[in-house]
C-alpha cells in the first residue's frame, strides 16, 4: 500500500522572496545597461583624470559583448525564468573577470563587484544556481592571480612577483576573504529570501481562503433557498404522482432530482464549513486519539474503510479542533475516494520534531507528475463530476494557518502517501 518511490511535492512551498518570475526582462536589461555605462565611464575617467592608457580595444570588445547579450536578452518577451537570470549572471561574472584581468587583476578594487552578482543570484534564483555563481566568481577571482595585467604605477600597481611577496599575500588573503563572505551571503540571503517568500505565499493563500469563505457564504445564502424550494416541490410532486399511480420512470426521475439537490446542498456545506470559519476559533487542549476518531466519524460510512494503525497513547495537542478535524478529514476522504471499493486506507500518527506527524496511505492509482504539480490549486480536480477541486486547497490552507506543512508522495500504480506535520501547540 505504501508507495516505495515517486514524486514528492511539499505543498508548504518552496522558494524565494523575490523570485525570477517577478524579475522582468526590462528590469534585468536596465540593470545591465547601467553596469555597462558605469564601466565605460570609469575607463574614460581613468584616462582623463590620471592620464593612464588602459587596453581600450579589449575592454571595448568585452563591453560590446555585454551590450550584444543585453540586446538579445531584451528581445525575450514576458518574464525571465530562473534559468535565464542565472545564466545571464554567470555570463556577467565571466565578463567582469575579463575586465578585471585587463585592469589590474586582483589589485583592482572593483573586484568587490563580484558580490553584486552573488547577492542578486541569492535573491532571484534557486540555491543551486546561487552556489554556481559563488563558485564561478571565486574561480574567476582566483584566475586573476594567474592571468592579469598589473595596474600601472600611477595607480599604485605592483607586479606580483617575489619582490612584492607581502603585497601578493595580501591579495590572496582578499581572495580567500571574498570566497568566505560570498558563501555566507549566499547561504544567509537564500534562506532569508526563502522564508520571506514562504511567508508571502502563506498570507496570499490565507487571503484567498478568506475570499473563498466569503464566496461560499454568499453562494450558500443565494442558492440554498432555491434548492430548498426545489427539494420541497419535488418531494410533494413525487408523493402526488405516487398516489396517482405514476410510472416508475417518472418517480425515478424525481428521485434523481432529489438526490442531485442533496448533492448540491452537500457541496455548499463543504464549501462554507470547509472554507473555514477558522477566525475566532481558539486552540484547545484535546487528546490526539479522540481528535482522530472524530475526524474519521465525520466521514460517515466512508470512515469504516479507515484503519488507524498507530496513535501515540495519551498524547495531548493544542489545536483549533474544528479546523484540524476539517483539514484531516478532507485528506482522509480523498484517500478513501481514490482507493478501490473495499480496500482500506491506513492512518498513522507519531510524535516528530516538537510536533505531530500524521500520514494517510491509500492504494489508489497514484498521481502523475503533472497532477502533483497542480494538486492544491483551487477548483483543480481529477474527478470533475464528483468534486469541486476545493478540498485539498482548503486542507492545505488550514494546515498552513496552523503552522504546519503538508507533503505528498505518489507514483502511478502505487498509491499515494500524504504526510502532515503540525506543531503540538498552536497559538
pLDDT tens digits, one per residue of 55-92: 888 888 999 999 998 888 877 655 557 788 888 899 99
- Residue 189 located in a structural domain: yes
Work out the average pLDDT over 304-317: 82
pLDDT at 14 > cutoff 60:
no
- Report the pLDDT value the prediction gives residue 419, as an integer from 0 to 100: 92
Q: Whole-angstrom Cα distance, residue 292 to residue 310?
A: 11
Cβ–Cβ < 8 Å for 396, 318: no
Q: Whole-angstrom Cα distance, residue 113 to residue 92?
A: 11
- Report the pLDDT value the prediction gives residue 359, as an integer from 0 to 100: 93
Query: 299 — phi, psi (to 5°)?
Result: -80, -10
pLDDT at 145 > cutoff 70:
yes
**10 Å Cβ neighbour count for 308?**
17
Do both 262 and 175 map to the same domain? no
- Residue 279 located in a structural domain: no
CA distances from 211 to 13, 277, 294 (A): 21, 12, 28
- Burial label for 257, CB within 10 Å (0-12, 13-18, 19+), is middle
- Report the pLDDT value the prediction gives residue 245, as an integer from 0 to 100: 83
Planar angle of CA 234, 238, 241, nearest 5 degrees: 135
Do both 41 and 162 map to the same domain? yes
From 170, 185, 201, the end of a domain falls on 201
Confidence of residue 29 (pLDDT cuts 50, 70, 90): confident
Query: Which three three-digit cell numbers place residue 115?
Result: 558580490
Looking at per-residue pLDDT, the higher value among 17 and 354 belongs to: 354
pLDDT tens digits, one per residue of 267-294: 666 555 554 444 456 788 988 888 888 8
First and final CA of the chain: distance in angstroms?
Answer: 36
Q: Which residues contact 311 (CB under 8 A, 6 or more apart)?
A: 288, 289, 292, 349
Q: Whole-angstrom Cα distance, residue 108 to residue 120?
A: 22
From 149, 174, 201, the end of a domain falls on 201
Do both 223 and 252 map to the same domain? yes
Q: Whole-angstrom Cα distance, residue 128 to residue 8?
A: 19
Do both 21 and 160 map to the same domain? yes
Q: Whole-angstrom Cα distance, residue 265 to residue 330?
A: 17
The percentage of the chain sitting over the pLDDT mark of 90, rounded to a whole number, equals 10
Work out the average pLDDT over 144-152: 79
Q: Whole-angstrom Cα distance, residue 370 to residue 304?
A: 31
Do both 158 and 211 map to the same domain? no
Starting from the edge strand earliest in sequence, which strands make up the sheet with 345-352, in order? Answer: 7-10, 405-411, 415-423, 355-362, 345-352, 306-310
Confidence of residue 340 (pLDDT cuts 50, 70, 90): confident
**10 Å Cβ neighbour count for 33?**
14
pLDDT at 386 > cutoff 80:
no
**10 Å Cβ neighbour count for 243?**
8
Average pLDDT for the chain: 79
- Report the pLDDT value the prediction gives residue 49, as an integer from 0 to 100: 73
The domain that contains 361 carries what CATH number? 3.30.565.10
pLDDT at 15 > cutoff 60:
no
- Report the pLDDT value the prediction gives residue 368, as an integer from 0 to 100: 84
pLDDT at 379 > cutoff 80:
no
pLDDT tens digits, one per residue of 188-235: 888 887 788 777 777 776 676 666 666 666 666 677 778 888 888 888
Looking at per-residue pLDDT, the higher value among 156 and 288 belongs to: 288
Highest mean pLDDT among 28-32, 150-154, 331-335: 331-335
Q: Whole-angstrom Cα distance, residue 97 to residue 108?
A: 11
pTM above 0.75, yes or no: no
Residue 9 pairs in a beta bridge with 408
pLDDT at 32 > cutoff 70:
yes
- Residue 175 located in a structural domain: yes
- Report the pLDDT value the prediction gives residue 388, as an integer from 0 to 100: 61
From 274, 303, 329, the end of a domain falls on 274
Domain limits at 257?
207-274
Number of structural domains in the chain: 3
**415-423 and 306-310 beta bridge pairing:** unpaired
- Residue 4 located in a structural domain: no
Cβ–Cβ < 8 Å for 85, 20: yes
Q: Whole-angstrom Cα distance, residue 276 to residue 394?
A: 8
Amino acid at each position: 500500500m505504501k508507495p516505495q518511490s515517486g514524486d514528492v511535492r511539499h505543498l508548504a512551498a518552496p522558494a524565494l522572496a523575490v523570485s525570477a518570475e517577478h524579475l522582468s526582462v526590462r528590469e534585468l536589461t536596465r540593470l545591465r545597461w547601467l553596469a555597462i555605462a558605469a564601466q565605460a565611464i570609469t575607463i574614460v575617467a581613468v584616462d582623463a583624470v590620471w592620464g593612464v592608457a588602459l587596453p581600450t580595444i579589449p575592454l571595448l570588445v568585452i563591453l560590446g559583448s555585454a551590450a550584444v547579450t543585453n540586446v538579445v536578452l531584451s528581445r525575450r518577451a514576458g518574464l525571465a525564468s530562473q534559468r535565464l537570470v542565472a545564466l545571464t549572471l554567470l555570463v556577467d561574472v565571466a565578463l567582469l573577470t575579463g575586465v578585471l584581468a585587463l585592469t589590474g587583476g586582483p589589485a583592482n578594487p572593483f573586484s568587490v563587484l563580484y558580490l553584486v552578482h552573488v547577492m542578486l543570484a541569492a535573491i532571484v534564483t534557486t540555491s543551486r544556481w546561487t552556489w554556481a555563481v559563488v563558485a564561478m566568481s571565486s574561480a574567476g577571482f582566483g584566475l586573476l592571480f594567474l592571468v592579469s595585467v598589473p595596474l600601472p604605477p600611477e595607480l599604485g600597481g605592483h607586479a606580483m612577483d617575489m619582490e612584492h611577496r607581502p603585497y601578493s599575500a595580501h591579495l590572496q588573503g582578499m581572495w580567500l576573504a571574498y570566497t568566505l563572505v560570498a558563501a555566507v551571503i549566499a547561504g544567509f540571503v537564500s534562506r532569508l529570501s526563502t522564508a520571506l517568500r514562504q511567508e508571502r505565499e502563506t498570507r496570499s493563500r490565507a487571503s484567498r481562503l478568506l475570499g473563498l469563505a466569503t464566496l461560499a457564504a454568499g453562494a450558500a445564502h443565494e442558492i440554498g433557498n432555491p434548492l430548498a424550494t426545489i427539494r420541497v416541490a419535488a418531494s410533494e410532486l413525487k408523493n402526488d404522482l405516487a398516489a396517482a399511480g405514476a410510472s416508475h420512470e417518472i418517480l425515478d426521475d424525481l428521485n434523481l432530482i432529489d438526490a442531485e439537490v442533496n448533492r448540491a446542498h452537500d457541496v455548499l456545506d463543504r464549501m462554507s464549513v470547509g472554507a473555514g470559519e477558522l477566525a475566532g476559533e481558539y486552540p484547545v487542549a484535546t487528546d490526539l486519539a479522540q481528535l482522530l476518531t472524530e475526524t474519521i466519524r465525520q466521514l460517515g460510512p466512508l470512515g469504516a474503510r479507515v484503519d488507524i494503525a498507530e496513535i501515540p497513547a495519551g498524547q495531548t495537542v493544542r489545536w483549533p479542533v474544528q479546523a484540524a478535524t476539517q483539514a484531516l478529514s478532507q485528506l482522509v476522504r480523498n484517500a478513501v475516494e481514490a482507493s478501490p471499493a473495499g480496500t482500506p486506507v491506513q492512518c498513522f500518527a507519531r510524535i516528530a520534531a516538537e510536533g505531530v506527524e500524521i500520514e494517510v496511505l491509500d492504494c489508489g492509482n497514484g498521481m502523475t507528475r503533472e497532477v502533483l504539480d497542480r494538486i492544491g490549486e483551487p477548483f483543480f480536480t481529477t474527478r470533475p463530476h464528483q468534486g469541486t477541486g476545493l478540498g485539498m486547497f482548503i486542507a492545505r490552507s488550514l494546515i498552513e494557518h496552523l503552522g504546519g506543512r503538508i507533503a505528498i508522495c505518489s507514483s502511478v500504480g502505487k498509491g499515494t502517501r500524504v504526510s502532515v506535520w503540525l506543531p503540538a501547540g498552536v497559538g
